[in-house]
Amino acid sequence: MKRRFFAPFVAVLLASMVVAAAQAPTDEQRAAAKPDASDKAQGAALKLSPADMTWWEDAKIGLFVHWGLYAIPGQGEWYMHNADVPADVYARLADQFRPRHFDPDGWARLAKRAGARYMVMTARHHDGFALFNNPSDVDNFDSVHAAAHTDFIAAYVKAARREGLRVGIYYSLVNWRFPAYFHPKEMPENAALFKRQAYEQIEGLMRDYGRIDVLWYDGGWLALKGTDADAAWFWQPEKLNAMVRRYQPKVVINARSGWQGDFASEEGAAPITGPIRPEPWEKTFSLNTKAWGYTKIRKLVPYDTLITLLVNAVVRGGNMLVNVGPDPDGVIPAGQVVLLKRMGDWLKKNGESIYGTRPGPFAPVDGVYGSTQKGRFIYLHVLSWPQDTLSLPAPARKVVRATVLGGADVPIEQTGEAMRLAVPAHDRDPIDTIIRLELGDETRP
C-alpha cells in the first residue's frame, strides 16, 4: 500500500517540478522584464528637449541588428552564459569569425526598403566582443584584432549614412569575461578594469565615428539581479552620459544605463495595450522569436502580428525597433528579409498615417482601434469591428470628409459629442482598416 501511494506521489512531485522549471523565467526573460526604476529627478539636465527629439518621434521605425561571435554556434546571443562556456574557450570563436558576405550597404538598403528611418547595431553584446577598433587597453577582444581584421561598426555607420538613415549604436554594459560583473564589491580591482573598459569604449564610439543619432544601452544591471537603476552606484550614469553628451550633444539615449534617458524601451513581442503613453518610448522585438542573435532553428513573428505591433505602438506614442540576426557570414536569413519587405510594402501604402504623426485624439481601445494625427487629418486605425458601426467621441473640429486611406468615401454621422461611421466588409482590411478624417476649420457645436 505504501508503494502504491508513494509512486503516484513521486510522479506528481516530478511533474510539478517539470512544470515549475518550464514556467521559471530565463535570464533573457528576466533581463527583458526588469522595470525602469531610475530616479526621474536625477540627470534631468542631460535630457534632450522636445525639439531635439522631434526627428526620432517622427521616424517611428528602426532596424535593429544583433550580430557577433554568437552567430557562429547559432544558439542566440546568450550562448556564452546559457551554455556556461569559459571565457577563454569562447574567445576562440574570434579566430573563426571571418564573415564572407558582410554587406553593410545591403543591410542599409534593406532597412530603407522596410520603411525604417534609423538603424541600431550591436557594437558590443554581453559576451564582451567588440565589433569596432577597441580603444581600451584592458584587452584586445575585438574584430580588428581578431581573424576578421575589420572595424564592422565603421563600415555600418558609413553605409547607413549613404542611405540617408540615422545611425544608432547598441552597447551592453554587461561583460561576462569579467568575474567582477557577478561580484563587483568582492572583486574591486577587476571591477575597476571592467568599468574602465566600458567608459573607454563608449568614449571611443562617441568620439571616433562621426555623428551618432542613437545610443542604445543594455545590461546596466549587475550579476543579472535587480534593475539598471540598482547598479547606478557602480556605473555612475550621470557621469557616463555627461561624457557622452560632450561628444554627441544631440544623441538620443535610452533608459538602460541607470539614468532615465530620453526614451523608454519595451522589449519583446507581447501585445501592446493601454492608454497613450506620456513619454517617448520604443517597442523592440526580434523577428526571430527564438533569440535576438542568429539561431539555426528559427520561428518568425507572423506578418499580421508585425503590423499590429507597429500600429499599436504608434497610436500610443511609440516607435518600433525591429530586430534581425545575421548568420556568421553576415547574411540576414531569408524569412526575416521577406517580413521586412512586406512591412515596407505596407508602409508605402499607409505610411501617411504613421510617419510624422502623433497619437490621438482618440484614446486607444485595446484590440479595436487607435488613432494618429497630423495637420488637419486624423487617421483612425481600426483593428477589429465588434459591430458594423463604430461609435467614438467627436473631435473638437468638425469632420468634413472621411475616406478609407487610398480608397472610397466613408459615410459619417456627427451628432453632438458623438460620431458614427461604417465601412462595408469588402472595403475593410483584415489587419488594419485606416480611415482618414479630414477636419474643417469649423469647431463642432
Residues 298 and 427 placed together within one structural domain of the fold: no
Residues 347 and 364 placed together within one structural domain of the fold: no
What pLDDT does 24 receive? 63
Residue 179 placed within a domain: yes
Whether pLDDT at 305 is above 80:
yes
More confident: 239 or 443? 239
d(CA 202, CA 217): 10
Residues 110 and 190 placed together within one structural domain of the fold: yes
298 three-state secondary structure: coil
Residues 36 and 164 placed together within one structural domain of the fold: yes
Confidence of residue 138 (pLDDT cuts 50, 70, 90): confident
Mean pLDDT of the 138-158 span: 96
Residue 306 placed within a domain: yes
* Boundaries of domain holding 66: 29-353
Residues 188 and 206 placed together within one structural domain of the fold: yes
Residues 6+ apart with CB under 8 A from 250: 48, 52, 213
Decide: residue 432, CB within 10 A, 0-12 exposed, 13-18 middle, 19+ buried: buried
Residue 210 region by backbone torsions, left for phi larger than 0, else alpha for psi between -120 and 50, else beta: left
Residue 141 placed within a domain: yes
- Enter the DSSP assignment of 427: G
Instruction: Please give the C-alpha separations between residue 264 and each of 38, 56, 184, 282, in angstroms, as whole numbers.
Output: 11, 13, 26, 6
Residue 18 placed within a domain: no
Confidence of residue 43 (pLDDT cuts 50, 70, 90): confident
Report the candidate in 281, 264, 259 with the shortest Cα–Cα distance to residue 45.
Answer: 259
What pLDDT does 444 receive? 63
Of the residues 331, 353, 375, the one at which a domain ends:
353
Of the residues 353, 376, 395, the one at which a domain ends:
353
426 three-state secondary structure: helix
Indicate the range of 21-30, 186-195, 326-335 predicted with least confidence.
21-30
| CA dihedral of residues 184, 188, 189, 195 (deg, nearest 10) | 50
Residues 330 and 420 placed together within one structural domain of the fold: no
Residue 20 placed within a domain: no
d(CA 412, CA 429): 19
Residues 303 and 265 placed together within one structural domain of the fold: yes
Report the candidate in 352, 418, 432 with the shortest Cα–Cα distance to residue 389.
Answer: 418
Residues 198 and 287 placed together within one structural domain of the fold: yes
Question: What φ, ψ does residue 138 adopt, rounded to 5°?
Answer: -70, -45
* Residue 380, CB-side half-sphere exposure with 13 Å CA sphere: 31
Mean pLDDT of the 419-432 span: 96
Confidence of residue 135 (pLDDT cuts 50, 70, 90): confident
For residue 284, what is its C-alpha cell?
523592440
Whether pLDDT at 280 is above 80:
yes
Report the candidate in 58, 61, 62, 85 with the shortest Cα–Cα distance to residue 72.
Answer: 85
Instruction: Please give the C-alpha separations between residue 84 and each of 79, 297, 325, 327, 367, in angstroms, as whole numbers.
Output: 8, 20, 22, 22, 42
What pLDDT does 10 receive? 44
Whichever domain contains 431, its CATH number is 2.60.40.1180
Residues 267 and 374 placed together within one structural domain of the fold: no
Residue 69 placed within a domain: yes
- Report the alpha-carbon angle 283-288-292, nearest 5: 70
Instruction: Report the domain count for the chain.
Output: 2
Residue 11 placed within a domain: no
Residue 16 placed within a domain: no
Decide: residue 243, CB within 10 A, 0-12 exposed, 13-18 middle, 19+ buried: middle
Whichever domain contains 50, its CATH number is 3.20.20.80
For residue 356, what is its C-alpha cell?
510624422
Average pLDDT of the chain to the nearest whole number = 93
Residues 73 and 92 placed together within one structural domain of the fold: yes
Residues 39 and 93 placed together within one structural domain of the fold: yes
Of the residues 302, 319, 353, the one at which a domain ends:
353
d(CA 90, CA 75): 13
Residues 171 and 314 placed together within one structural domain of the fold: yes
